[in-house]
């Protein structure tokens, strides 16, 4: 039975009040009632879609290069890009690629209260004061919530939590060579460019459309002089030593042989730190494959791990609990042989 308009308004204002109270109790901040413009959904979409910013010539070039690369043989089930439909990628709307899709799930039916709790937790956990230099503007369809004067998205929440975790364990990101493997649309890289002066930030991806979207988004943010988005061919040629490699929800979705390719690639570039946020703890792949023996084989040992939301009550009422793993290379200077793909 559907509620009448007056009844539903009353119900929603009671829910909103309870959400505010719950958030204040859990996080201990002086939060006021969350402001939402579309009360029926509780989530604000400030800009449902943006302009089409992908450079089609660039995309064609990347597809052409990637198809010749050995990694193309082991594209996982999740991220297979249909060569016959190069203009499409899974459920990604090319004008709203920050919306709900396989890059970053948005609220996906989670209650508004979980969004509020996560935002307030991220604000409280921002011990490195990164919020001074990064903010959400709602571009390209990302789902947002406004609390006081700040717009929040899962992009902002997750990026803040990830960067604060990294800074808790790595003295600085400033001036470091950072490579995000499976960078998606460039969520974390663009946030890192917001909060550092670093000019050695790189993204690489095995899926051509992801690379093209990431390049376009980085240009849109005017950070292309500081973030390099590498095609697979450019990745092969990349010769810098890597201070920090990042892998957020992407090894999980690859074939194990692709993961091993990237682990070999990272070892060849003397990668010192490797930060992994898997879909399943372990870390493991979506199919349950334990990554620890593979990481060990390539010389990475676990330095520290933590729950994304360290408080269980908050985690239970958050937007997607998760696990952080920071690995450190055992031999920082040794450069072994490049890994080879040995399976289809």
Instruction: Please answer whether residues 258 and 75 qualify as being in contact, where contact means their C-beta atoms are separated by less than 8 angstroms.
Output: yes
Contact status: 160 vs ligand SAM (CB under 6 A):
no
Q: What gap in Å lies between CA 201 and CA 66, rounded to an integer?
A: 21
Output the smallest distance, CB 9 to ligand SAM, in A: 36
Burial grade of 295 (CB within 10 A; 0-12, 13-18, 19 or more) = buried
Q: Which pair of structure tokens corresponds to residue 229?
A: 């988005």
Residue 22's CB is within 10 A of a number of other CB atoms, namely: 16
34 binds ligand SAM (CB under 6 A): no
Strands 150-152 and 300-307 come out as: unpaired
71 touches ligand SAM (CB under 6 A): yes
Task: Provide the minimum distance between the beta carbon of 32 and ligand SAM in the complex, in angstroms, as a whole number.
Answer: 30
> With contact defined as beta carbons under 8 Å apart, do 269 and 339 qualify?
no
User: Among residues 147, 253, 257, 272, which is the contact residue for ligand SAM, using CB under 6 A?
Assistant: 253
Kindly state the smallest distance separating residue 279's Cβ from ligand SAM, in Å.
8
**Looking at 250, 270, 271, 318, which residue binds ligand SAM (CB under 6 A)?**
250
Counting contacts by CB under 6 A, is residue 79 touching ligand SAM? yes
31, 116, 227, 258: residue in contact with ligand SAM (rule CB under 6 A): 258
The region of 43-51, 129-137, 166-174, 249-257 touching ligand SAM under the rule CB under 6 A is: 249-257
Q: Does 144 engage in binding with ligand SAM (CB under 6 A)?
A: no
Copy the structure tokens of residue 218: 């980085």
> Is residue 322 a contact point for ligand SAM (CB under 6 A)?
no
**Does position 205 bind ligand SAM by CB under 6 A?**
yes
Q: Closest CB to ligand SAM among 26 and 205?
A: 205
Q: How far is CA 29 from its chain centroid?
A: 26
In sequence order, what DSSP letters do the residues of 211-249 get, joined into one string?
Answer: HHHHHHHHHHTT-TTTEEEE-HHHHHH--PPPSEEEEES
Task: Write each residue from 208 to 247 as x if it is in contact with ligand SAM (CB under 6 A), else as -, in one continuous string.
Answer: --x-------------------------------------
Minimum CB distance to ligand SAM smaller for 178 or for 183:
183
**How many whole angstroms separate alpha carbon 288 and alpha carbon 87?**
31
Q: Which CB, 15 or 282, lies closer to ligand SAM?
A: 282
- How many chain residues interact with ligand SAM (CB under 6 A)? 22
d(CA 246, CA 277): 8
Of 318, 321, 307, give the one whose Cα is nearest residue 120. 318
- Contact residues for ligand SAM, defined by CB under 6 A: 71, 75-76, 79, 102-104, 181-184, 187, 205-207, 210, 248-250, 253-254, 258
């Amino acid at each position: 039975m559907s509620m009448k308009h007056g009844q539903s308004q009353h119900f929603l204002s009671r829910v909103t009040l309870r959400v505010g109270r719950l958030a204040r109790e859990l996080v201990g901040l002086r939060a006021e009632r969350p402001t939402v413009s579309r009360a029926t959904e509780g989530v604000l979409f400030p800009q449902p879609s943006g302009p089409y910013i992908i450079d089609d010539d660039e995309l064609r070039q990347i597809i052409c290069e990637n198809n010749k690369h050995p990694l193309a043989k082991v594209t996982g089930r999740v991220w297979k890009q249909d060569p016959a439909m190069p203009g499409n990628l899974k459920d990604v709307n090319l004008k709203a690629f920050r919306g709900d899709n396989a890059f970053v799930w948005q609220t996906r039916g989670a209650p508004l209260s979980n969004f509020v709790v996560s935002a307030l937790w991220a604000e409280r956990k921002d011990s490195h004061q990164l919020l001074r230099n990064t903010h959400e503007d709602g571009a390209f369809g990302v789902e947002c919530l406004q609390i006081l004067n700040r717009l929040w998205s899962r992009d902002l929440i997750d990026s803040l939590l990830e960067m604060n975790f990294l800074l808790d364990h790595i003295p600085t990101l400033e001036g470091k060579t950072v490579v995000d493997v499976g960078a998606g649309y460039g969520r974390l890289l663009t946030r890192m460019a917001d909060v550092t002066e670093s000019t050695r930030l790189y993204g690489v991806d095995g899926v051509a459309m992801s690379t093209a979207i990431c390049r376009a988004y980085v240009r849109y943010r005017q950070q292309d002089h500081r973030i390099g988005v590498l095609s697979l061919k450019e990745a092969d040629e990349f010769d810098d030593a890597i201070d920090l490699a990042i892998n957020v929800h992407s090894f999980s979705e690859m074939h194990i042989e692709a993961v091993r390719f990237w682990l070999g690639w990272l070892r060849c570039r003397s990668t010192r730190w490797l930060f992994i946020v898997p879909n399943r703890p372990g870390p493991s792949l979506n199919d349950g494959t334990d990554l620890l023996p593979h990481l060990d084989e390539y010389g990475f040992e676990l330095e520290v791990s933590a729950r994304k939301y360290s408080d269980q009550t908050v985690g239970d009422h958050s937007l997607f609990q998760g696990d952080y793993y920071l690995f450190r290379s055992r031999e920082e200077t040794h450069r072994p042989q490049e890994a080879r793909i040995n399976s289809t």
